[in-house]
A and B are shown apart, each in its own frame.
Chain A
Amino acid sequence: MIDNTIEFLEPYTYLIIGSIKALVIAGALMGVVPGLVWLERRLMGRFQVRLGPNRVGPFGLGQPISDSIKLLFKESIIQSSADKFLFHLAPAIVVFTSIVAFAVIPFGEPITIFGQKIGLLVADVNIGLLFVFAISGMGIYGIVLAGFSSNNKYSLMGGLRSSAQMISYELTLGLAAVSVIAITGSLSLTDMVKGQEVIPNILIQPLAFLLFFTAGVAETNRAPFDLPEAEQELVAGFHTEYSGMKFAMFFMGEYINMVTMSALITLLFLGGWNAYGLPLWPILAFAGKVAVLLCVFIWLRSTYPRIRYDRLMTFGWKFLLPLSLFNLLVTSVFVVL
């Protein structure tokens, strides 16, 4: 019986392994969000010389659980003037794209289980980096549609700002990545990590790292670039009209994007799962680097005030973009030589 089943499933092994990997990674990503919210609130509390959430459970660890339950059971209000279909679609797009973008991110050497070689990523495509950019570019639609379908001035302004900001900073992000691609000679993220076995790219390309990190913070709509949801001017920006779980989905998308961006920076600049002599498992080395970057994201939020909207665009187009073009030029010259 079991033999027959195994024989029947044999040709579909890759499908089964792929689905299991996809489920595990999507689940893990969604599970990481409450932890990250807790970490952010605790760290922000310390940065601002207060305690942060500490009442529910040890160190306030029960807080995200109680918050999620509250959000799940909250009434979901839709105002009558909203475009119903798009209003429901928008948060789904945000979460969907943020999870799918993680599919091509590798977090370790392939392992072997039951004679099957299993890569530690969902899909090993040879253009992994482009895939991440393409999918995270689709995530803009979630925010734009949320702003549009709410039929609210503040939401519309938030959506417009967000699309303008993401288009502008995507250029810098892409160009900074291109200089790394020029060094590695491949678009595959696994090859990039292999190319950094001796020294991480951050030492060869410090400027590209700074550019990529800045643009990455802007792409994930994190402070000090959180213009789409600037509370003081726009109430809450594109998600002003959302409540309950749909409101939470936008934050889920934002936090997952943060994880993806940290993972991408780790892979491109910090050497991925190479531990550089430290006695660490590859996966632990990777996770540690991502965790440190996530803390830096939170640290940035509590350190810098939000910059003004026109300054943001000027900064992106007149400072970051020429700088990244210059960096690419210098890198290309060195690669050719």
Chain B
Amino acid sequence: MPGREPPDTQVVRARLGLGARAARLLGYRELLVGMVRKELKVRYKNSVLGFAWSLLNPLLYLVVFYVAFDLILGSAIEHFEIFLLSGLLVWNLFSTGLGAATGSIVANAGIVNKVSFPREILPLASIGAALVHFALQALVLGAVLLVLRWDVAWEYVPLLPVALVALLVLTAALGVLLSAVNVYLRDTQHFLELGLLAWFWMTPVVYGFMTIGGREGAGKALFMANPVTPVVLVFQRAIYARLDTGGGSSAPRALSGEGVTAILPPWTWGEYALYLGLTFAVGLVLLAVGIAVFGRLEANFAEEL
């Protein structure tokens, strides 16, 4: 039987193609699940409240922003708490997922140096853990909405899973990319903290999209180019469901009415979907870049750690 290779044959060489990389990752999916569970378990180890922190965290944010924006600065947004939470939960998924993913390879240096397994698992597991926290928070928000008998915009609800997947693609892309860069340049981790803070304020989570989106100028283009914004907008449009402080949620109408401030853009369903599509496209392109860079850099991980 010369020429026939046994099924376990592996070729160790400098670089792995994209297809081989994906197939290898798929074979290790149980490890991915195990690593997500590990991340969840270790995160709140030795804290009294444990997993409750996952829910307490957005609530404390809510209190801070409510005091700062609603009570002190006098935000015109009614039901500020629903508005804030509908955007904050997705933002938190993005920022905690990306933050944990970036440090993941360095944090697991011990195992990277000893066992050969697809290293992408480490950043992906960090994002998976953030997703579990998000799901828990979203469940509680859903329950609160039910109790309040809150009117969500049902026609936008089908866009929510699409927005979630788009955000996960974007987070995974940046997480895989930055986790590899962080091995070589540990400053990445520290810089990211600051970068995420700036990014947060560039995303309409605490203030309405129309605060900046309603203006003209160069700043607006930058604001619109933020790939997290469409995801946040879709969540706000579906859950908060109010376009302006006049309570308008239906067809676009004159927004300059007395005492009425625009919050969300008066776009059609198609326009929201199209804007979201841009995030998807950006995410996929970044994912290809991220995997390519990761593949280029991972060869020297063991040497650098």
A and B bind: no
